[in-house]
């Protein structure tokens, strides 16, 4: 019997953050010093303010302009009332707690990804029609949540769906333009808000044709208003695009932003209770990021270096999987972002494989971690999510070699039964 391979130091495919040597320490230091020592004529503007004082509710206007400019470089220019929440499955495992904390316990439905269509649209529409037809008792009083200090009442949506459309976490897949447009059509028909995590759009690998990456859904939402002759500035739209620099500049640098079709929904987000109690929650760090953009220290050396590094790691990972894992193993993703999704054959119990790998120093993120709370579909039986952001190429090779050995052992055990 072959001696089991064991890693003397942990090889963790679960961790979804950059290796320490990829963190841009020098660039952040340079931008911080520049920001706090140079003359800042916009400090007296109510929309900008001093970096170390309370920020405006929407955040610094200058920083938002800089972010809008950099977005154009990377993307193509094109309450109780809510009855049910839909989450694309497999899903980012921490999103469940966000929905549960918002009162969606028992109201979450998993909508499975489909490699060909992007989503199981037939199932989604059936569920929406079912909930549309249901008589739902509600004690909500819309007028009770209107705030007299606001210019207009909040917009309430009947449904909400969460997804990561590009280089998805966990599957690494990208939804086609046709699928995005179909989802948008369904959302408009059923009064549904689409919550998009667009956090990986910046991380297309160098050999990926950027022109083939579909426009963000919020971009399509805005563009299709124009095509229909509707003034988007007077509509709420059906999309919120969430983006963050934490995937690019380091997870400790918590700077994110939200984009909507028009100022109507954006202003509602900027006037939430937590934000209005002190303004934007990351005034200093957002202005440091703005300074980095102004100094042209975001694309080169940071984003381009990350993309090249992750691309090389993804290539090594795919090669190792082809060499070590059983025939019939399927691999999804690898064109951008942090993650690849691996589906092993029926002959391998993926949960048992993850358990044995952990005993040998390799941590896999089993598919069971990516279920929608209360509505599991069985991802744990065959699937693992692998992160390429944290491990070196040598660690990836050894980790997959150990996993491959475990798979062969499990297959042999099955054959003996």
The closest alpha carbon to 268, from 363, 155, 378, 106, belongs to 155
Domain range list for the chain: 11-22+300-416, 41-294
Beta bridge partners of 331: 342
Give helix 393-416 / helix 304-324 axis angle, nearest 10°: 30
User: How much is the pTM?
Assistant: 0.84
Give the integer Cα–Cα distance in Å for 153 and 169: 34
Length of the chain: 417
The closest alpha carbon to 80, from 4, 165, 13, 145, belongs to 145
- Please check the confidence at residue 347 and state whether its pLDDT lies above 60: yes
Beta bridge partners of 87: 110, 162
pLDDT of residue 208: 81
Q: Between the CA of residue 288 and those of 217, 295, 343, what are the distances in Å? A: 28, 10, 41
Tens digit of each residue's pLDDT (9 = 90 or more) over 41-64: 989 888 889 999 989 888 899 999
The pLDDT-based confidence of 157 (bands split at 50, 70, 90) is confident
**Can you point out the beta strands (E) in 251-381?**
256-260, 330-333, 339-343, 362-363, 365-366
pLDDT of residue 316: 98
User: What top-level class would CATH report for the domain 11-22+300-416?
Assistant: alpha beta
Tens digit of each residue's pLDDT (9 = 90 or more) over 106-140: 667 778 887 656 788 888 888 888 888 875 544 44
Question: Do 79 and 145 meet the contact criterion of CB atoms below 8 Å apart?
Answer: yes
The pLDDT-based confidence of 231 (bands split at 50, 70, 90) is confident
- Please check the confidence at residue 98 and state whether its pLDDT lies above 70: no
Question: Do 381 and 350 meet the contact criterion of CB atoms below 8 Å apart?
Answer: yes
Question: Do 19 and 283 meet the contact criterion of CB atoms below 8 Å apart?
Answer: no
- Please check the confidence at residue 76 and state whether its pLDDT lies above 70: no
Give the integer Cα–Cα distance in Å for 323 and 223: 45
Per the prediction, the chain carries an average pLDDT of 85
Q: In degrees to the nearest 10, what's the CA dihedral of 404, 408, 411, 412?
A: -170
Beta bridge partners of 160: 85, 193
Percent of the chain clearing pLDDT 90 (strictly above): 53
pLDDT of residue 75: 64
Q: 41-294 architecture in CATH? A: 3-Layer(aba) Sandwich (3.40)
pLDDT of residue 78: 40
């Amino acid at each position: 019997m072959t001696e089991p391979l064991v890693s003397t130091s942990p090889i963790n495919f679960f961790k979804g953050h950059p290796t320490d040597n990829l963190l841009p320490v020098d660039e952040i230091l340079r931008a911080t010093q520049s920001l706090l020592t140079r003359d800042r004529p916009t400090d007296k503007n109510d929309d900008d303010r001093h970096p170390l004082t309370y920020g405006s509710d929407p955040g610094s206007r200058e920083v938002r302009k800089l972010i809008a400019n950099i977005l154009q470089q990377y993307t193509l220019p094109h309450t109780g009332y809510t009855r049910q929440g839909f989450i694309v499955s497999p899903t980012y495992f921490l999103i469940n707690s966000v929905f549960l904390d918002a009162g969606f316990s028992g109201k979450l439905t998993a909508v499975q990804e489909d490699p060909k269509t992007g989503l199981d649209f037939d199932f989604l529409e059936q569920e929406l029609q079912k909930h549309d037809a249901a008589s739902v008792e509600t004690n909500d009083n819309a007028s009770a949540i209107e705030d007299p200090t606001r210019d207009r009442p909040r917009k309430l949506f009947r449904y909400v769906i969460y997804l990561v459309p590009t280089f998805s976490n966990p599957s690494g897949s990208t939804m086609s333009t046709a699928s995005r447009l179909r989802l948008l059509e369904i959302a408009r028909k059923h009064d549904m808000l689409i919550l998009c995590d667009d956090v990986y759009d910046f991380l297309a690998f160098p050999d990926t044709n950027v022109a083939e990456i579909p426009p963000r859904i919020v971009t399509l939402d805005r563009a299709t208003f124009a095509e229909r002759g509707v003034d988007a500035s007077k509509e709420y739209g059906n999309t919120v695009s969430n983006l963050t620099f934490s995937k690019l500049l380091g997870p400790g640098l918590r700077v994110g932003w939200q984009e909507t079709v028009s100022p109507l929904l954006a202003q509602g987000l900027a006037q939430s209770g937590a934000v209005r109690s002190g303004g934007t929650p990351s005034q200093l760090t957002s202005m440091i990021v703005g300074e980095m953009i102004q100094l042209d220290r975001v694309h080169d050396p940071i984003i381009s270096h990350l993309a090249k590094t992750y691309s090389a790691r993804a290539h090594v990972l795919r090669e190792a999987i082809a060499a070590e894992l059983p025939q019939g193993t399927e691999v999804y993703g690898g064109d951008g972002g942090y993650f690849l999704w691996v589906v092993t054959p029926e002959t391998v119990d993926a949960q048992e494989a993850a358990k044995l790998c952990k005993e040998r120093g390799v941590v896999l993120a089993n598919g069971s971690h990516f279920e929608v709370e209360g509505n599991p579909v069985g991802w744990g039986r065959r699937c693992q999510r692998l992160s390429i952001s944290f491990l070196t190429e040598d660690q990836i090779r050894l980790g997959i070699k150990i996993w491959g050995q475990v798979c062969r052992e499990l297959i042999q055990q099955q054959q003996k039964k």
